[in-house]
Homo-oligomer: A and B are copies of this chain.
Amino acid sequence: MEQGWRGVEIVEVGPRDGLQNEKRVLPTAVKVAYVERAIAAGLTRIEVAAFARPDRVPQMADAEEVLRGVPRSADVRYVALVLNGRGLDRALALEDARPHEINYVVVASDEFSRRNQGVSTADSLKAFRSVADRARDAGFFVTLTVAAAFGCPFTGPVSVDRVRSIVEDAGPVDEICLADTIGVGVPVQVSELADAVRPVAPGAPLRAHFHNTRNTGYANAMAAVASGFTALDASIGGIGGCPFAPAATGNIATEDLAYLLRQSRVPSGVDVAAAAAAGLWIGAELGLAQVPAQLGRAGDFPGDL
């Protein structure tokens, strides 16, 4: 982001967190087209792949092909999700088709961490330190996402202290993302988590990741803006969810978030109409009756009056 920028960066996570959690597995060419539509709508930081086990996450099996297929320019940064050292090895092996960023996920509750990644939170963090050091040596921008930071579907509330100590133990990182993976959080948690995490990660910008499972996602996004978060994850169409979390639904939608921010006079650089059109398009590609995003159906305002 340029100095003096007073807006919020929307990180497009539809090609990863969105598509990963839809039933239909899309061909690589459609994924690349989704990324191209995101870029045309003004998104400049896009999570396009996860280096996960293809047998567990077939939607992401073509991670390498997607990273080789997406257009490259100086204006666009690609992010790949990495869960362990093997994932980083796959990113490194891509040579000139590497992502720009590695997003590593640590799950805040042990139970969810074990079910999702097969290890405790502490072991996941230990692995992170090793991956992060290697990734930074290789020139990657390294972000840490604390998943289930607002609550765990299996064990309930997650304390602010727990999240703070995870961030503290993580060591140096280029950005910290606090994720409401199952969509249970509310605005007051956003500001409390920000206040708790900042002192133990001085200088690290904060990003937030919200799902709209209980209709709290957009209120949380506004709270994150007010709390000084510099970036917000969202998916075009609001697609996605989490197959490992009961009843989770999609990310907050890029087009609806861009509308909310624009009308609130907070620049995001995203073209609401282009993002809304892309949302309708990806919904059709996925065979969805309708996408969770509302802008495509409702229309922009003021629209063509």
Contacts and interface: CB of A to CB of B under 8 A. Distances in A.
Interface stretch (A16-24, A119-127, A149-157, A280-288): A149-157
B157 A302 contact: yes
B259 A297 contact: no
Given A260-B186, A299-B247, A305 B156 contact: yes
Nearest to A257: B215
A219 B253 CA distance: 14
A167 to B, nearest CB: 22
A220 B295 CA distance: 17
A94 interface: no
B215 A151 contact: no
A212 interface: yes
A146 B256 CA distance: 25
Interface string A223-261: 100000000000000000000001111001100100110
Within the oligomer, what is the number of copies of this chain?
2
**Which of A189, A213, A221, A301 counts the most chain B CB atoms within 10 A?**
A301
A129 to B, nearest CB: 31
Contact of A214 (B153, B219, B301, B302): B301
A212 B238 CA distance: 15
Given A219-B260, A249-B294, A155 B214 contact: no
Nearest to A261: B186
B213 A215 contact: no
A184 interface: yes
A264 interface: yes
A263 interface: yes
A41 B188 CA distance: 25
Nearest to A247: B298
A188 B264 contact: yes
Nearest to A213: B298
A302 B151 contact: yes
B213 A151 contact: no
A214 B259 contact: yes
12 contacts: A156-B302, A186-B264, A189-B263, A214-B256, A214-B295, A214-B298, A215-B256, A215-B259, A215-B293, A218-B219, A219-B260, A247-B297
Kindly list the 5 A-B residue pairs having the minimum CB-CB distance in the complex, ordered from nearest.
A156-B302, A215-B256, A184-B301, A186-B263, A219-B219
Given A184-B301, A214-B256, 16 more contacts: A151-B301, A153-B305, A156-B302, A182-B301, A185-B263, A186-B264, A214-B294, A214-B295, A214-B301, A215-B252, A219-B219, A219-B221, A222-B222, A246-B299, A247-B297, A247-B299
